[in-house]
Structure 1
Amino acid sequence: MTDDTRKDTEGKRAAVTGANTTVLTVARIRGIVARTLWMICLALALVLAFAAFSFALKANPDNALVQGIQDFADSWVDLGFFDLDNPVKQFENPNGDVKTALFNYGIAAVVYLIVGRFLERIIRP
């Protein structure tokens, strides 16, 4: 093998290695972004679940933690569409407020989980 052949082979090998490194870096970044989006959607679904269970268990509304979770869920996590002031489904029984919270926040949590998993599958390489 001549020196020119060695240089060409090493140059091609370096070019292929650089391309592979770029592809791996992009794949790694896409994986991190997908995992991060899934974790955010999961956390928001958990906030809605905790808020719904706080209504169902009749948790003390004067407690700062309970009030904070309910306010956070009611402010923007419920997507505005599943709001308890203007719910998708309103129940009128003696336990209507609990059923309304469980139904609407439960549906919103499921929506977050479906959208989060869908986005993760699209973004992940």
Structure 2
Amino acid sequence: MKINVKKVKKNLIKAYATVAVAANTIALNATAFAAEGGGSSAPEGVDTSNYDALLNIIFWAAGILIIACSCIPGFKAMAEGQANEDKRGFNSGLTAVITGAVCGAACVAVRYIFL
């Protein structure tokens, strides 16, 4: 049985990227939730508008970064798959685009749902 090293390497990179995006999204959301105090309100008389604006910027930037880092290679894989008439390549690119968009949107949505 011959092992195709290029195929194994490509699959490992895809798996690592998927796990990394999911882990980063979860870690970012958990960190922001803990930094906020677990959803507790601020003491009376304390102005938190600057902190809220900073959190909004961070969550939007993280969401956009996640989307960009997964959708750009996904669109490239889709284009290569379409050009080479390779359904598997096209489908893997489509999966990367959808996964990245969902993870990026989830990152932004968590800010508005929990914080």
Is the radius of gyration larger for structure 1 or structure 2? 1
